[in-house]
């Protein structure tokens, strides 16, 4: 089963992004401020544009990029929207992004379906923002991103054997800017998450 094919952002995501960026930047760049103003409550699907955190002039900015790499010639149609963290650094499609264009994808929650097609919602306690590790790649004048996945932790395992590679807030800047931390962060175990179904969260939004 393909995993992490939809996630959610909302106004709370925008507020936490701004707080995080202000920890490293004295003032918000004009482009970052404009990117934050675009964030509203919505689900993000592959091929959608979404806000991501990326390196800019030694700091961190928020920009909107499209989710998913086009399939390589001969591989058919569709998008590659996930990359396995265990092997991404060795694969041609992801290698340069892991080395030089690491990004973070903020989300309020992400969704996953089990083999019985039951939809589950995964989020942090108190709906704190999730920070998913990713990387980018240029396609002509366009730049796109993928989300890195890792082995499922105990909260995810009953539903799927993979999950997004989640970073703690303090690790966001390290993942984006510190090449010396890349290998160790690729091996980290994500934090536990709250898991619920649509039936349990009718008032989620």
Q: What is the DSSP letter of 180?
A: G
Confidence of residue 57 (pLDDT cuts 50, 70, 90): confident
How far is it, in rounded angstroms, from Cα 202 to Cα 117? Answer: 18
In the chain the domains, ranked by start, together with CATH numbers, are: 7-200 (3.90.1680.10)
Is pLDDT larger for residue 83 or for residue 58? 83
Residues 6 or more apart whose CB falls under 8 angstroms from that of 126 comprise none
Measured in whole angstroms, the distance separating CA 91 from the mean position of its chain's CA atoms is 19
Mean pLDDT of all residues belonging to the chain = 91
Can you give the pTM of this predicted structure?
0.93
139: left (phi over 0), alpha (psi -120 to 50) or beta: beta
pLDDT over 90, % of the chain: 79
Give 99-120 pLDDT, tens digit per residue: 999 999 999 999 999 888 899 9
How far is it, in rounded angstroms, from Cα 126 to Cα 66? Answer: 28
* Whole-number pLDDT of residue 163: 96
* Whole-number pLDDT of residue 61: 94
* Whole-number pLDDT of residue 1: 46
Phi, psi of 3 (to 5 degrees): -125, 165
Give 6-28 pLDDT, tens digit per residue: 999 999 999 999 999 988 777 78
Confidence of residue 204 (pLDDT cuts 50, 70, 90): very low
Give 143-189 pLDDT, tens digit per residue: 999 999 999 999 999 999 999 999 999 999 999 999 999 999 999 99
Of the ranges 3-7, 12-16, 48-52, 137-141, which is most confident?
Answer: 48-52
Question: Residue 161, class by beta-carbon neighbours within 10 Å (0-12 exposed, 13-18 middle, 19+ buried)?
Answer: exposed
Pure H helices in the chain = 11-22, 30-37, 95-100, 169-177, 182-186
CB 156 within 8 A of CB 137: no
* Whole-number pLDDT of residue 28: 84
First to last CA, the chain: 26
């Amino acid at each position: 089963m393909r995993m992490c094919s939809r996630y959610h952002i909302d106004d709370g995501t925008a507020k936490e992004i701004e707080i995080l960026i202000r920890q490293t930047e004295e003032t918000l760049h004009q482009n970052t401020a404009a990117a934050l103003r675009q964030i509203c409550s919505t689900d993000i699907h592959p091929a959608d544009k979404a806000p991501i955190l990326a390196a800019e002039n030694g700091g961190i900015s928020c920009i909107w990029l499209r989710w998913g790499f086009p399939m390589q010639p001969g591989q058919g149609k569709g998008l590659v929207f996930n990359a396995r963290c265990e092997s991404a650094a060795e694969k041609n499609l992801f290698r340069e992004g892991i080395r030089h264009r690491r990004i973070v994808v903020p989300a309020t929650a992400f969704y996953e379906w089990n083999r019985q097609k039951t939809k589950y919602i995964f989020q942090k306690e108190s709906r704190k923002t999730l920070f998913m590790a990713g990387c980018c790649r240029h396609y002509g004048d366009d730049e796109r991103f993928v989300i890195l996945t890792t082995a499922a932790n105990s909260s995810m395992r009953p539903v799927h054997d993979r999950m997004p590679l989640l970073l703690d807030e303090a690790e966001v800047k390290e993942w984006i800017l510190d090449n010396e931390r890349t290998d160790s962060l690729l091996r980290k175990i994500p934090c536990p998450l709250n898991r619920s179904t649509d039936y349990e969260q009718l008032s989620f939004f």
